[in-house]
Amino acid sequence: MRLIRQFNRLRQLNRVILRHGLDDYFARSEARFMFKLARFFQPWHSNRYPEHSKEARLMLALQALGPIYVKLGQLLSTRRDLIPPAIADELARLQDKVQPFESALARRIIEQAFDTDIESLFSEFHEEPLASASIAQVHAATLSSGEKVVVKVIRPGIEKVIQRDIELMYTMARLLARLSTDGRRLRPVEVVADYEKTIYDELDLQREAANQALLRRNFAKSDKLYFPEVYWDYCHRNVMVSERIHGIPIGHIDELKAAGVDMKALAECGVEVFFTQVFRDNFFHADMHPGNIFVDASNPKKPTYIGIDCGIVGSLSRDDQRYLAENFVAFFNRDYRKVAQLHVDSGWVPPETSVEEFEGAIRTVCEPIFEKPLGEISYSQLLVRLFQTARRFNMEVQPQLVLLEKTLIYVEGLGRQLYPELDLWQTAKPYLERWLKEQVGLPSLVKALKENLPYWAEKLPEIPDLVYASLRMASREQRATEVRKAYPARHYLMGISGAFIIASALLLSLLGLGEQTALVSGALGAVGGALMMKGWPEA
C-alpha cells in the first residue's frame, strides 16, 4: 500500500512539473531529454499556465505540491544572493499568501473544537482570512470581553498530505544511504526523522501556544523582541487564539525606511536576538522567515521585533551549546587549530582525524571571508565549502544542528536585506565571548551553587545518619584491623572532619541565599570534599 502511495506521489510530481512548465528550467541540463520524452508520451499534461512567467509558475508548483515544498520556497525566498531576484520575489508570496481554504470550513473546525457556535466565542469574526500559510490560516476576531485577537486554524486534511510526503522522503533517504557513501555520511534517514517530528509538532497548536508563551516569558523584560499573548481558554489542538499585533512586515524594506527605522540598529538587534535565544535561553524560534516577523516602529531609533508562528522551535544540549559558542569565537579569532580540535573533541569528526590537516583545510575555506561586510559574505556558500572539506575528513551531519543552521540562514538573509553593510562577525563576537565567560567563570559557580542548594537542603537531614553508619562500620574490629594496617588513623579523622564541614556548608547555605553566603558555603564544601577524598580509603 505504501509503495502504491509513493508511486502515485511520484506521478503527481511529474504531473505538476509538466503542467506548470517547469521543464523550461532544465532546457540546458542533462535532464532535458528525459523531460522531452515525458512530454512526448504524456501530451495531455501541457503547460496550464502559459500566461504566467516562469518564476510565477515555480511558485504555483511549490504551492500545489504541499506544505513541505512551500517551506522550501520560503527558505529560498530569503536567499537573494543565491537565486535571481525575479524568483525570490515570486517565492516571497509563499510566506503568507498561500491559497486559503473556505471560511465556512474554518468556522466548522472552530465550532467542533469547542463544541459551541462561533457567536458564543467571539463578538466579531472576520470571514476573510488575514493570512494563509502552508499549515494553517489566520482570521481576525474580537473576544466577548473586547480583546482584539487572531484565530489560527489548521488546514483540514493536511496531515494526510504530510504523511504521504514524509513516506516518500523516507524511501528516497534510504535509497541514498544504501547507494551512496556520501549519502550514508549525511545520515539522511535521521534528518528526515528529525524533520518529521518537527513538522508534526507544528500541527499541534497547543504545543505552539506553549512555545509562544515561553518565548514571550523569556523576553518579557526586553525591548528588542515581543511575542503576542496567548488566550489559553480558546486554544485547542487545531485552533489557537492569541493577541492581535500591529507592525510592519520585516520584508517591507521601503515601508521600514519611510517610517524612519534605523536599519543598522534593526539588523544588529536581529543578530543579538538570535544568539540570545540560542545561548542564553537555549530555546529559539526556528522558523524565522519574513512572513513570521514584524517590526514595531513606534520608536524608529530602537525598533522592536515582533515574532509569530512559534510552531517550530529548537534547543541544544549543554555540550553542543558550548562547542558551538567556542567554535564561533575561534572562527572570529581565526584560531583554526582550536576549531579543528573542537570538532574532534565534540565527536563531530572521527577521533583519529589529524588536527593539523583539518586545521589547514578549515583555514583554506574560512580565511577569505573575514573582514568583509555581510553583503559580501554568503553563509550558504561557506556551508557548501565546509561541506566539501568535511567530506575529506568523514564528518557526519549532526541532525540536532539542522534547525539551528536553517535559522541562521534565515537570520543572514534578513540581515542582508535590512543592512547589507552589517558585519555579522563583529556584532556577534562580543556577545558570545561574554556568554562563554559567564559559563566558565565565578558567576557560573555561584549560579550552580544556587541551583543545587534545594537538592542539598533536601539531603542535609540524611548526613548525620550517613556519618553514624560510617562510624559504626569503622568500629567493627575486622574492618578496623584491615584499615589500620593500610591507613593511619589521621586519615579517618580527615574523612569524618570533611563530612562535618560539608554538613556545615549546607547549613550555612540554608541560613542565607546571598552570593557571599553561596561562595563561602561552596568553599567549605570544596574543603570538606577534599578532606573526605584524602581521608577515605580506596575500595
Domain extent listing, the chain: 2-95, 158-200, 248-440, 442-535
pLDDT at 132 (0 to 100):
84
**What residues are annotated to the active site?**
287
pLDDT of residue 533: 47
Q: What pLDDT is stored for residue 500 in this prediction?
A: 46
Q: How many residues does the chain have?
A: 539
CA Rg value for the chain: 29
Query: Quick one: pLDDT at residue 526?
Result: 47
Rounded Cα distance between 313 and 330, Å, is 27
Which whole-number Å values give the CA distances from 219 to 166, 179, 212, 276, in the listed order? 35, 47, 11, 10
Going 24 to 29 to 31 to 36, the CA torsion angle's sign is positive
CA separation (Å) from 336 to 355, 480, 484? 10, 57, 55
Sort strands 131-132 and 248-249 into parallel, antiparallel or unpaired: unpaired
Which grid cell is 183?
A: 549519502
Q: What is the pLDDT of residue 160?
A: 84
- Three-class secondary structure of residue 31 per DSSP: coil
**Is the whole model's pTM more than 0.85, yes or no?**
no
The pLDDT value given to residue 138 = 95
- Residue 141 DSSP SS3: strand
Question: What does the pLDDT read at residue 289?
Answer: 80
**Full pLDDT tens readout for the chain, 539 residues:** 666 666 666 666 767 777 777 666 655 555 555 555 555 556 555 666 677 788 888 888 888 877 777 777 776 676 665 577 788 888 877 766 667 889 999 999 999 999 999 999 999 999 999 988 778 999 999 999 999 999 999 999 888 888 888 887 787 778 767 766 656 666 678 767 777 887 888 889 999 999 999 999 999 999 999 999 999 999 999 999 999 999 999 989 999 999 999 999 999 899 899 989 998 899 999 888 888 899 999 999 999 999 999 988 888 888 888 888 888 888 778 888 998 898 888 877 888 888 899 899 888 888 877 666 655 766 656 666 666 677 677 776 665 676 777 787 778 778 878 888 877 777 888 888 888 877 766 666 666 666 666 766 776 777 777 666 766 776 665 555 655 555 555 555 455 455 444 455 444 454 444 444 444 444 444 444 444 444 444 44
